[in-house]
Structures are given as C-alpha cells and as structure tokens.
Chains A and B, each alone.
Chain A
Amino acid sequence: MSVLARFVARRCLQALPLLLVVSMLVFLLIHAAPGGPLAIYLANPNVRPADIERLRRALGLDRPLWQQYWTWLWAFAHGDWGYSFSDGRPVAVRIVERLPATLELVAVSLTCALALTMPAGILAAVRRGGWFDRAVAIASGAGVSLPAFWFGLLLQMIFAVGLGWLPSSGRTTPGGGDVVDHVQHLLLPTTVLAIVLASGWSRYLRGSMLETLAQPFIVSVRARGLSASRVVLRHALRNALGPLIALVTVDAALLVSGAVVTESVFAWPGLGSLFTEALARRDYTVLMALLMLSAAAVVAFNVVADFAHALVDPRVPVS
C-alpha cells in the first residue's frame, strides 16, 4: 500500500470515534426536546392523545433510547438519512439539490478571500509598523469583530435598497437570468464571506510571516545575495504557509456545510438556508443530517490540510 493510502486509511479510522461522539451529541440534543420529536402535535386539537401514542409506537419512539440511536446510526451510515419532516422527501435529495449553490458561493468566496489575504498578510509583515500594516490591522480588526449578518444587512441597505445597483437576495432573477445577472447576485454574499474570512486569515498570515522572517536562515539566504522579494516569497512564505493552510481548510469545511448566516440574509438557496428553513419547521431529520455532514466535512478537510502541509513543507512527515 502506498504511503498516501495508508495515511488516508489511518486518519479515517482515527476520525471514526470522533464522528461517533458527534452523532451521540446531536441525537441526544434532539431527543432532549420537551415532549420529544412529537411535541409539535401536542398543541394540535385534531390529534388525540391516543393518536400520539400510536405514532410513538409506529415510529419506534417508545423503545429505549440506545436502541433508537443504534437504528438511526445504522441507517445513517448506510446512506438512509430518512425523510424530511416538512415535505416528506428524502433528506439526501433535499441536501443534494442545495449543494451546487453552496459550492458555487464557497468556491468564489474562498478565491476572493485568498486573493485579499496573500498580499495583505505578506505586505503587512514585510512593512511592519508602516502605514499599510496599520491599515490592514484596523481593517482586519474590524472584519473579525463584524457580525456577518449586520454587514450583510448594511450592504443590502446601501447597494440594493439605496443605490439599486445590485439585487438584494436570491441566486438569479426569478425566471432565470444570464451570466451578468448571476454575477450580480453573487457579489454581495461573496463580499461578506470574503471580507470576514480574509480578516482572520491575513492577521494569521502576518503573524506567521513575522515569526518566520525573524529566523536566522532568512538572514543567511539574504546574505547569500538573494533578492528581497525572492527571500520573502520563496523562503519565508513557504515556511509560513503551513499554519494558514490548516486554518483555510477548516474554514472551507465549515462553509461547505453552509454559510448559515450569509446564505440566510441573502436568501442564497444553499445548504445554509436549508438549515435555517429546517430550523424554523423543526425538521429534525434534515438538521441532524446537516450537522453530521459538516462534522464529517471538517474531519475530512483536516486530513487534506495535513497532507497539503506535508507537501509544502517536506520536513513535516506524512503520518
């Protein structure tokens, strides 16, 4: 077996207990609802107590909790994610149909965020204490403290309501639109995500660049006559990149599972707004599947991050 295959296999095995713990937590949380999952029927005058009792037995809710958990876990692991409480369709279908919108938003936002982070983080570190460093510090300090939903509301207020330049929500104009229409819809949600992400990342990159630039090998390669830009980009950046990769991948994983806030504010029809819709309707099957999915995504992306770190830094062992 190749090194890579062994690495992936071992990391996946290590991730199993973690996912089990997550699944227990999610399961217990939903069963902690007063009255259980059938609580919604309690207030309905058309549903008699006898009916609720019958439903409880039919759905297996009268069995011991560990049995219910086991049945759910077994089915979940085999791809049977159950049916949505709100429209009766399979949960997997509902998730798959929302996936493209989320992937599109995430891919564009991550690219924009990286395009902001790299120059900002590197230049701030190289020109430490200068005006650019201060500007980045203020902008990113505000960015990490910014409530994403408020930032979204402000952008809507200015560019959609006030100036009327951009649509305030959705993925396309109803009835479908051309590429320009599509890009216009993408602009505001992407701005929110990219700025929030880039603020955190550039502070991080600046810090790890400063740490690397202070090391003796930087002086030594500079003394050997390499140009300043080559030292910064080839030698320092490569060493400083490792921690950033870890951060970016975890953020990416969290986004794939749905940029809940941003998608909801802009009514972007992805996994994030599926989550808030399911939340409003107490659609527990959908909520559980989404939460499990995002935990799995974080675990999987972490494996990728470790591998990528080993690629940019040969000293890091693939283990």
Chain B
Amino acid sequence: MRLPAIVIVCLVAAALAAPIVAPYTPDRIELSVRREAPSAAHLFGTDELGRDVFSRVIYGARVSLAVGLFSAAVAGASGVAIGGIAGYIGGATDAVLMRATDGMLAIPRLPLLMIAAVVLQPSIPWLIVLIGLAGWMETARVVRAEFRALRGKGFVENARAAGASHARVLLRHLLPNAAQAVAVSLTLAVARGILLESALSFFGVGVRPPAASWGNMLYQAQAALATEPWLAIAPGAFILLTTVSVSLIGDRLAGTRRGMF
C-alpha cells in the first residue's frame, strides 16, 4: 500500500501548496509563448493562450481531487445511512430502500449526471453533491449485507439489553464491524468520482473554464490533437495516476492482492 499512498499524499500536498509548487499562475496569459512544446521553462508545454500546462495541472488537481474525495464522502455517508437503515430494520423499509437502490443502479450514471449538469448548471460544490448522490448505491448494498448478517448476533442483543438506543447500536456497534467493507467501497467511490468529474468536464458540462480541472483541460486539448498533443497527455496521465493509486489502495484494503506494491 505504500507507493500508492505516497503518490496520493504527494498529489494532495501539491494541490494544497499549488501557489508554491506551480511556477506560474494557472490563468496567466502570455501570448508570446503560445502553443509551445514542453521545455525547461514550461515542463508540460503551453496552451493556445500561452498558459503553462504544468501550473494548470497542479491547480486542476485541487478541483479533481476535491471532487473525488468529497463526492466519495457524500456517497459514503448516504450509502451508510440508507444501507444501514435497510439492513438493521429489515422488512418493508428494507424492501423499499433496496428497490430504490436497484432503480438507481438501472440508470446509467454518466448520462444521468450529464443531464443533471446541463439542467442545473452546478457550481463545483453542487457538482460534488450531484456526483456523490449518483454513487451511494454500492456502499448501501455492502453496508446492508453486513448489517443484516450482524443484527441477529449476541452482541447486538447485549447492547440493546444494556439500554443502548437504536442509533447507538447502529453507529457504535454495527458500523465499526462494517468498516473494512465501507473503506473499500469508499476508495472505489473516490476513483469513480474523479473519473466522472473528468468525463463531465470533458463534455463541457462539468467544471467550466477558465477554472482548470483535468477533465476540462482534456476538453480543450481535443481540438488540437494533431498540433499540440502535449495538451492531452499531462492531464490524462494525472487522472490515470490518481485513479490507479486509489484503486490499488482499495485492493489492498480488501485484501485481494497482498504484497504487489
């Protein structure tokens, strides 16, 4: 788990310290160096307005990582709430909530989000909420399964008999037992959130220019593939680096692949 974790920590640190790490400001227009190939002065080259691609990637990391991490938090919190209630209460509540989960899973996620983004024209915080609300289903299923298996166990009855409220049993006794499963589903949600943001921005409905995100940098790069390929390489490589690292951490948490890295 070490290497992927180090990569993520470095990326987050670079994003937080963007003004120090980035050699230029992300929106500094310098028309004398338009469309320049990567060089010592401009590590990843410059775009059609002479903006430094490296600086934009670093500032873009703020948006992409924030969307990934916070949307996973939204997805995780709603998934734990819905799955936890369904699994703990059972019966009709469980049936209704799980049908709703199936319903959400039947709608293709990206097209639904694309429509929502076009209709609602969300700011970045709202984009985070939207992406999170489109991703709670997996966590809900996992948590429900864990809670159903655990709710009949002796320690739950014990806690109830000792006077613990339902809320306390849910949060203090059941949730810690489902922690590993939740953690794995959260890592998946982070990777998915980053991919969804970049896809939405790539189609021009996510993070709007002039703000830089890895996705909307690729949206701009698409028009100049033949002449300025460097515009497309750096942002995409950073998306891949992040999502690969996050899912390796997830694999490690799930215990499916030990000792690979």
Residues of A bordering B, CB below 8 Å: 17-18, 21-22, 25-26, 29-30, 32-34, 134, 137, 141-142, 144-150, 153-154, 156-157, 161, 207, 254, 257-258, 260-261, 264, 275-276, 279, 282, 287, 290-291, 294-295, 298-299
Contacts and interface: CB of A to CB of B under 8 A. Distances in A.
A156 B221 CA distance: 13
A21 B99 CA distance: 9
Interface residues of B, number: 46
A21 B100 contact: yes
28 contacts: A18-B99, A18-B102, A21-B99, A22-B103, A22-B107, A26-B107, A26-B115, A141-B244, A144-B247, A145-B195, A145-B240, A145-B246, A146-B243, A147-B236, A149-B202, A154-B233, A258-B108, A258-B111, A260-B108, A260-B110, A260-B111, A260-B114, A261-B110, A264-B203, A279-B118, A287-B115, A294-B108, A299-B106
A30 B115 CA distance: 8
Contacts of B114: 260, 275-276, 279
Contacts of B251: 141
Contacts of B235: 150
A262 to B, nearest CB: 11
Interface in B237-253: 239-240, 243-244, 246-248, 251
Nearest to B247: A145
Nearest to A280: B204
A183 B236 CA distance: 28
Given A150-B218, A207-B256, A260-B110, A145 B232 contact: no
A25 B107 contact: yes
A223 to B, nearest CB: 28
B185 to A, nearest CB: 15
Given A33-B120, A141-B244, A153-B221, 16 more contacts: A30-B119, A146-B243, A147-B218, A147-B239, A147-B240, A149-B202, A153-B225, A154-B232, A157-B229, A257-B111, A260-B114, A261-B110, A279-B203, A291-B107, A295-B106, A299-B106
B9 to A, nearest CB: 18
Given A21-B100, A257-B108, A294-B107, A150 B119 contact: no
Given A30-B119, A291-B115, A142 B240 contact: yes
B123 interface: no
A18 B247 contact: no
Given A134-B260, A156-B225, A279-B118, A149 B111 contact: no
B116 interface: yes
Count chain B CB atoms within 10 A of each CB in A34, A141, A264, A275 and give the residue with the most: A141
Which 7 A-B residue pairings sit nearest by Cβ, starting from the closest?
A: A150-B236, A145-B243, A298-B106, A21-B103, A33-B119, A145-B244, A295-B106
B240 A146 contact: yes
Contact of A150 (B100, B118, B240): B240
B107 A149 contact: no
Contacts of A29: 112, 115-116, 119
A18 B116 contact: no
Nearest to A134: B260
A88 B152 CA distance: 59
B226 interface: yes
Contacts of B99: 17-18, 21
A149 B218 contact: yes
A157 B108 contact: no
Contacts of B246: 145
B198 interface: yes
A232 B246 CA distance: 33
Contact of B119 (A32, A156, A260, A294): A32
A257 to B, nearest CB: 6
Nearest to A20: B103
B242 to A, nearest CB: 8
Given A141-B248, A145-B244, A294-B111, A22 B199 contact: no
B205 interface: yes
B158 interface: no
Interface in B53-89: none
B257 interface: yes
